Amino acid sequence: MDNDATLLLDLDGVSVHRVELLEDGRRRVHLTTADSSARACPACGVFATRSKGRALTRPRDLPYGERALEFFWHKRRWWCGEPACPRKSFTESLPQIPAGARITERLRAAAGRRVRDAGSTVIQAARDLHLSWSTVMASFTVQAREVTGAPLPEVRVLGIDETRRGRTEVGTGCRNREVATGA
């Protein structure tokens, strides 16, 4: 279901079913799964055909406008049809919203980029995005690896500046001053 709200949300794999305006001004967005690959068993990869029921999760995402959006993802539980699979059932998951995730991957990445690129402190990014310090720090560590893990350019010339070999003699500065002033 590609409606305008789904396009506006821009979260791959889910579609907007409906949006409610709450009394406090927040918006509650009801999502359904739009990607059929979400029903593939995470253990064996076989696509499930038998539904076990429904589940409701509430992953948090980036704020939209002045207030945060409250997500209610109505997803399905599936029975794995592969007899040799150790996993008997599972719930739908997507790359942007992995199984068991409380926040979306784009919120996690944005938190790390705020520290890496925008010069924000970890605690300030955590306050702005309503996340814990440890979540933002872990996200920053992942984002920083992209920069620190990149290969460095080859060194062609190595220069050494302002180095001194040996001990300095005590009083040489005074003698030089006496010579310069003529004293």
> Which tens digits make up the pLDDT trace of 21-46?
999 888 999 999 999 999 999 999 99
User: Between the CA atoms of 155, 160, 165 and 167, what dihedral angle is there, to the nearest 10 degrees?
Assistant: -130
What is the pLDDT, as a whole number, of residue 68? Answer: 77
- Indicate if 88 and 115 belong to the same structural domain: no
Q: Which has more pLDDT, 94 or 158?
A: 94
For all residues of the chain together, what is the average pLDDT?
86
What is the pLDDT, as a whole number, of residue 182? Answer: 55
- Indicate if 88 and 1 belong to the same structural domain: yes
- Indicate if 91 and 107 belong to the same structural domain: no
- Indicate if 11 and 88 belong to the same structural domain: yes
Residues in the chain: 183
Q: Which residue range is the domain that position 119 belongs to? A: 103-146
- Tell me, yes or no, whether 175 lies in a domain: no
- Indicate if 4 and 86 belong to the same structural domain: yes
What's the pLDDT tens digit per position in 103-158?
999 999 999 999 999 989 999 999 999 999 999 999 999 999 888 887 878 888 77
**Mean pLDDT across 63-87:** 90
Burial of 91 (0-12, 13-18, 19+ CB in 10 A): buried
Tokens for 164?
A: 């001194």
Q: How many domains in the chain? A: 2
- Indicate if 81 and 1 belong to the same structural domain: yes
DSSP secondary structure code for residue 2 in this structure: -
